[in-house]
Amino acid sequence: MSQLVLRKVRKSFGRIDVIHGVDLEVRDGEFVVFVGPSGCGKSTLLRMIAGLEPISGGEIAIGDEVVNDIAPADRGIAMVFQSYALYPHKDVYGNMAFALRHAGEDKAVIDKRVRHAADILGLEPLLKRKPKELSGGQRQRVAIGRAIVRDPEIFLFDEPLSNLDAALRVQMRVEILRLHKRLKTTMIYVTHDQVEAMTLADRIVVLRDGRIEQVGTPLELYHHPENRFVAGFIGSPRMNFLPAARDGQGHVTAAGSRPLDLPVEPGSDVVELGIRPEHVGLCAAGEGHLTGEVLVAERLGGETFLHVDLGEPEPFVVRADGSVTQQSGESVGLRLRPESLHVFDGEGRAHPHRERHALIA
Amino acid sequence: MTQTAPPETRRSRRGRSRRTGAAAGVHLVLAGYTLIALFPVVLVVMNSFKNRRGIFGDPLGLPDARSFSLEGYATVLGEGNFALYYGNSLIVTVASLFLILLLGAMAAHALAEYRFRLNTLLGIYMILGIMVPIRLGTVAILQLMVDLDLVNTLLSLILVYTAQGLPIAVFILSEFMRTLSRDIKDCARVDGLSEYRIFFEVVLPLIRPVLATVAVFSMIPIWNDLWFPLILASSDATKTVTLGVQQFIGQYTVNWSAVLASLSIAILPVLALYAIFSRQLIAGITSGAVKG
Amino acid sequence: MTDVITDTVERRPTPRRKRRLGGRTHIVVFLAPAVLIYTVFSIYPLIESLRLSLFDGLDDGSAVWTGLGNYTTLLSDPNWAVRFWNALWNNLILFFIHMVVQNPLGLLLAALLSLAPRFAGAYRTLIFVPTLLSVVIVGFVWELILSPLWGVAQTMLGAVGLGWLYAPWLGLESSALTAVSLISVWQYVGIPMMLIYAALLSIPDELLDAARVDGLSGVAIFWKVKLPLILPTLGIVAILTYIGNFTASFDLIYSIQGVLGPPDYSTDIMGTLMFRTFFGQQTQIGDIHMGATVASMMFFIILIGVTIYLVGVQRRLTRYEM
Ligand SMILES: Nc1ncnc2c1ncn2[C@@H]1O[C@H](COP(=O)(O)OP(=O)(O)OP(=O)(O)O)[C@@H](O)[C@H]1O
Ligand SMILES: [Mg+2]
């Protein structure tokens, strides 16, 4: 059953179109993450689902009900904001109880639900504190607790962790994941951090300029990006792109490389080849498919990123083992794995080829 | 600003003595001007506690056993109606401030929070009044008050002062409200608060410090105004302190102790309030100034 | 979102009806009271004054259109023009004295305060006292102090050997306007001081540290770093002085000198002229239309000043991000 359905949803601010007709179905209990570059409309889309931003066109349904005209408080959603948005003049308990008190809920019920949420998040010792007496992580936990208390059908998160430092972000990420396992409620989560997206999501929605580029599980997006944008956006370090061409036999050659055995559908033009840094093997110069000079070797201990000059404007990045010894200035050979290669046409669409990696289902 | 101490060098001794010299100079100027600022006030208050001979014989001396007298105050309290005038000033100032802050904050909230077609235009319209003194419309204001039958009422003053104070209030408050986090208001919406309750329960508590600044800015000109009380509400029942003192002194020019006492009566409460609130007031002015 | 509850077909069983999105009435409710009061008691009277200035009153109380007739009268009729130009001139002198005495003094005091000497808070608080007092009170206080009858000023000058300097300044045509201006400076210097002080405080410490590392002395830092950064504030101070000059000074002159600007109109300014024209004084009977004309002239003069400020000054004074 679909919990949330967006049909041809559009949004314009004055004359500027920000969301250009988005279609999406979210299943009950699913954890969906919206990612995309800054300004692509993630927050706007989320706020439209919440009812904070009126919809310029299309339809949004929660449960089976079209909610286009229904006030946020009655949509069965709860929202967690990037800046926490705690009421500074109320203590933690007051913040968590606020919505229910406002709805005229019974005192005992409120108390039970606040304590239950506080228990889940380990907030009991903090209930009497004011927001300004809390650390960033604690504040965010209160913000989440406040959402739990409302017992919503859908949780909406807008970059809830981006104000936290790196270590805390990892910890809270795990906590949100555990929360989802425990509550099994539908969650929609906006972030521009792809590690968050990959680790949290059942499905990821990649947005660009107000359009959905691709929807899929994290591994689908990683292994089978449908276009160059998604391919470049998911994965870190970024995928390498090389100009490429197709020879008479339907085999592909990247600039400066030996022919690769990659039969693609006849008729499709091929302009670019994409390969992730982790799918490149090192070998002696002159061997493998490509040869280039190491510009920089970034040694992180466990692994080493080699930036290799192949004569393209951007260096080609290779993710190698921490033990490799190549220095900058040295020549290295690169071996590409055919099953991990991505082939793109002039419009940036990915083309399936025979060798392409089969998804681990 | 903090002066960082220079490292000890050969020049340090000379530097230090020059620095003490400079510090003394700074204090000389500041203390000197402070004296100039306070002297007239102190002089008047001091002499108001003397009899006629004391006032003229030794104006610069403190009241002593021979010169001490409260005759001036006796006259003022007997003849003048200062309790009433104070009450009037208080009513006018408090009511005007209340309206300026409430209505100004409401308008500023609408301008800062909502998108609607006339937003920018209305914003400019509302702050025009900062540049154009309301007094220039006095002729028409008086006619209007006559038509509304509001001449010689405190309400006429309250309405005029509210109109006078709104532009700067809307300007400062809307500038500040634009800096408030949108999330907290949205959160309240998700929690089911109406737009009105969001204003009163979420926004107002957040802008309290700026409200204080605006209150200070608006209060001084209202309390001290002579023009509008003179023109709109000069009847005995509606006189403000400023007008009351002005007219009282006009009648008692020869009775110096009464004049001095009436001036003191007008000054002292203001000074007392200032002593209590000067910290907030100064903080308010400086913070408001940084914004504006 | 509004509180309007409408009957919608419920497809999900919920305990209560759902509130609908979309009402915009709250925007009107928030704006209407302020816009209304401001329009009725500030903008309308201003426009009405401009309108009245285009009419002439008849004896039977009706009014007849004269176009710019009143302005011609004000600017060229011998009886009116003398008073008008005199008042305008006096206003400009008043403004000039404030610009050369009050604002530099305010700058000096603010600069000294910003060095954070001991007792800076106390100095600041005390120097601001006169600003709080009613102009009326300030006027009387100084009138008494300068009065030859009481002789305080005389005695004090005598004590430092300057007794010969004393004159009843407020009563002399040559010095009355200057004396009144200086009283006003005494009262209001706290405002530029505060504004400039706040601007100086908002200059980041790192910038001053950087200047010190670059080898600038304290004085050089003031002239080359701080002053350029507070120029916009000095611009605001100047325009506030200009506007205040046409409004606030009335109270002071009215309470010290009365409405005729004595001696011999030497302290007559636009405010007193407008008051007199409107309400009449002694031999002269009040004239709404000429009063409105004087007010409108003030409006245009202020408008010219504000325009010069906005176009000529403010745009050139770059506001640096700090
Ligand atoms: N109130 C508004 N008025 C006009 N344009 C707006 C408004 N809010 C957002 N936009 C525009 O809509 C686009 C999408 O904004 P949105 O905040 O949804 O981006 P985002 O994907 O959340 O970005 P970020 O990652 O930076 O938060 C942007 O181009 C933004 O400029
Ligand atoms: Mg966003």
Domain extent listing, chain C:
77-316
Q: What average pLDDT does this structure show over C182-209?
A: 88
CB C173 within 8 A of CB C266: yes
How far from A6 is each of A21, A44, A188, CA to CA, in Å? 9, 14, 13
Asked if residues A294 and A308 have their Cβ atoms less than 8 Å apart, the reply is yes
In which domain, by residue range, is A287 found? 240-360
- Two structure tokens written together for A358: 């089969």
One digit per residue, the tens of pLDDT, for chain A of length 361 reads 568 999 999 999 988 999 999 999 999 999 999 999 999 999 999 999 999 998 999 999 998 899 998 988 889 999 999 888 888 888 999 999 998 888 888 999 999 999 999 998 989 999 999 998 999 889 999 999 999 998 899 999 999 998 888 888 898 999 999 999 999 999 999 998 888 999 999 999 999 999 999 999 999 999 999 999 999 999 888 999 998 887 776 677 887 777 777 777 666 677 888 999 999 999 988 888 889 999 999 999 999 999 999 888 899 999 999 898 888 999 999 998 888 888 898 888 888 776 666 654 3
Query: A336 is written with which tokens?
Result: 């590409």
Q: Do A65 and C11 touch (CB under 8 A)?
A: yes
Mutate to test the pocket of ligand 1, among A43, A45, A209 (most ligand atoms within 8 A of CB): A43
Number of domains into which chain A is organized: 2
Strand partners, A203: A32
Provide DSSP, A144-193: HHHHHHT--SEEEEESTTTTS-HHHHHHHHHHHHHHHHHH--EEEEE-S-
Separation CA A289–CA A273 (nearest Å): 13
How far apart (Å, rounded) are the C-alpha atoms in residues C230 and C318?
10
Q: How far is the CA of A35 from the centre of ligand 2 (A)?
A: 10
For residues B38 and C129, is the Cβ–Cβ distance under 8 A?
A: yes
- Does a structural domain hold residue A231? no
Name the residue among C1, C12, C20 with its Cβ closest to that of A65: C12
The CATH class for the domain spanning C77-316 reads mainly alpha
pLDDT score for A355: 65
Q: Assess whether A269 and A349 both reside in one domain.
A: yes
How far is the alpha carbon of A180 from chain B, nearest alpha carbon, in Å?
21
DSSP states of chain B: --PPPPPP-TTHHHHHHHHHHHHHHHHHHHHHHHHHHHHHHHHHHHHTTB-HHHHHH-TTSPP-TTTB--HHHHHHHHHS-HHHHHHHHHHHHHHHHHHHHHHHHHHHHHHHH---TTHHHHHHHHHHHHHS-GGGGHHHHHHHHHHTT-TTSHHHHHHHHHHHHHHHHHHHHHHHHTTS-HHHHHHHHHTT--HHHIIIIIIHHHTHHHHHHHHHHHHHHHHH--HHHHHH--SGGG--HHHHHHHHHHH-TT-HHHHHHHHHHHHHHHHHHHHHHHHHHHHHHHHHHHH-
| For the CA of A190, the nearest atom of ligand 1 | 22
The pLDDT-based confidence of C10 (bands split at 50, 70, 90) is: very low
Tell me the backbone φ, ψ of residue B267, rounded to 5 degrees.
Answer: -80, -45
| Contact (CB<8Å) B190/A50 | yes
Is residue A234 domain-resident?
no
pLDDT band at B22 (very low <50, low <70, confident <90, very high): confident
Among 1.10.3720.10, 1.10.10.10, 1.10.1060.10, 3.40.50.300, name the CATH number for the domain at B82-251: 1.10.3720.10
The angle formed by the CA atoms of residues B269, B272 and B274, to the nearest 5 degrees, is: 110
Is residue A289 within 8 Å of A334, Cβ to Cβ?
A: yes
Concatenating the DSSP letter of every residue in C172-202 gives -TTTHHHHHHHHHHHHHTHHHHHHHHHHHHT
Q: Tell me the C-alpha distance between A65 and C167, whole Å.
A: 89
**Identity of the amino acid at C262:** P
pLDDT-derived band at B16 (thresholds 50, 70, 90) equals low
The answer, yes or no, to whether residue B8 has pLDDT greater than 60, is: no
Of A120, A111, A182, whose CA–CA distance to A145 is shortest?
A120
* Amino acid sitting at position C239: I
pLDDT of residue A304: 94
With respect to residue A168, please indicate whether it lies within any of the assigned structural domains: yes
User: Which residue lies with its CA nearest to atom 25 of ligand 1?
Assistant: A38
In ligand 1, which atom is closest to the CA atom of A45? Answer: 18
Over 60: is that where the pLDDT of B289 sits?
A: no
Distances (CA, A) of C174 to A224, B11, C167, C179, C180: 93, 53, 11, 10, 12
A19 and A66 belong to one structural domain = yes
State in Å, rounded, how far the first CA of chain C is from the last one.
38
Residue A207, helix vs strand vs coil: strand
Contacts for B8 with CB less than 8 Å, ≥ 6 apart:
none
Residue A318 contacts residue A296 (beta carbons within 8 Å): no
Between B290 and B208, where is the model more confident?
B208
Tell whether A42 is covered by a domain.
Answer: yes
| Helix or strand holding residue A241 (H, E) | strand A240-246
In the prediction, which pLDDT does C148 show?
A: 82
Query: Does A18 sit in the ligand 1 pocket, CB within 6 Å?
Result: yes
- How far is it, in rounded angstroms, from Cα B231 to Cα B152? 9
Shared domain check, A341 and A197: no
Domain stops at, among A159, A192, A223? A223
Cβ A78 vs Cβ B190: under 8 Å: yes
Residue A341 lies in a domain: yes
- Residue C253's pLDDT is 85
**Partner B contacted by A72 (CB < 8 A):** yes
ipTM, 2 dp: 0.84
Give residue C63 CA to ligand 2 midpoint distance, Å: 63
pLDDT recorded at residue C310: 82
| Enclosing H/E stretch for A336 | strand A331-336
| C-alpha radius of gyration, chain B, whole number | 25
Protein residue with least CA distance to atom 7, ligand 1: A13
- Closest listed residue to residue C109, CA positions, set B17, B273, B37, B220: B37
Q: Is the confidence at residue C11, as pLDDT, over 70?
A: no
With a 6 Å cutoff on the Cβ, whether A290 touches ligand 1 is: no
**Terminal-residue alpha carbon distance, chain A:** 22
Give the strand order in the sheet containing A186-190.
A77-80, A154-158, A186-190, A31-35, A203-208, A211-216
What pLDDT does residue B2 have? 42
pLDDT digit string, tens, across residues A120-171: 898 999 999 999 899 988 999 999 999 999 889 999 999 999 888 888 889 8
Domain identity same for A256 and A286:
yes
**Minimal C-alpha gap between B54 and chain C (Å):** 11
So what's the pLDDT on residue C314? 67
User: Could you tell me the pLDDT band of residue B3, with boundaries at 50, 70 and 90?
Assistant: very low
Any CB–CB contact under 8 A between B31 and chain C? yes
Q: Are residues A208 and A322 in the same domain?
A: no
Q: How far is it, in rounded angstroms, from Cα C116 to Cα C136?
A: 34
What distance in Å separates the CA atoms of residue B227 and residue B135, rounded to the nearest whole number?
8
C18 contacts in A (CB within 8 Å)?
A: 70-71, 74
* Confidence band for C13, pLDDT divided at 50, 70 and 90: very low
Q: Give the tens place of pLDDT for each residue, A208-245.
A: 999 999 999 999 999 999 999 999 999 888 999 998 88
Is there a contact between B198 and B185 (Cβ–Cβ < 8 Å)? Answer: yes
Chain C residue with minimum CA distance to A48: C21
**What is the CB-side half-sphere exposure of residue C153 using CA atoms within 13 A?**
19
- Between B51 and C41, name the one with better pLDDT: C41
Report the C-alpha gap between B111 and B245 in whole angstroms.
Answer: 41
Cα–ligand 1 centroid distance for B116 (angstroms): 18
Query: What local confidence, expressed as pLDDT, does residue C158 receive?
Result: 79
Where along chain B do its domains lie? 18-77, 82-251
Structure confidence by residue, pLDDT tens digits, B214-266? 887 788 889 888 889 999 998 989 999 888 888 888 887 778 888 888 888 88
Kindly state the percentage of chain B with pLDDT values over 90.
34
Residue tagged 């490389």 (tokens): A257
The 10 Å Cβ neighbour count of residue A127 is 18
Place of tokens 């204090």: B27
Tell me if residue A305 falls in helix, strand or coil.
strand
Last residue of a domain, one of A223, A253, A281: A223
The three-class DSSP label of residue A112 is helix
Please identify, among A223, A258, A293, the residue that sits at the C-terminal boundary of a domain: A223
Q: CA geometry: angle at C272 spanning B251 and B147, to 5°? A: 85
Adjacent-strand bridge partners of A2:
A27
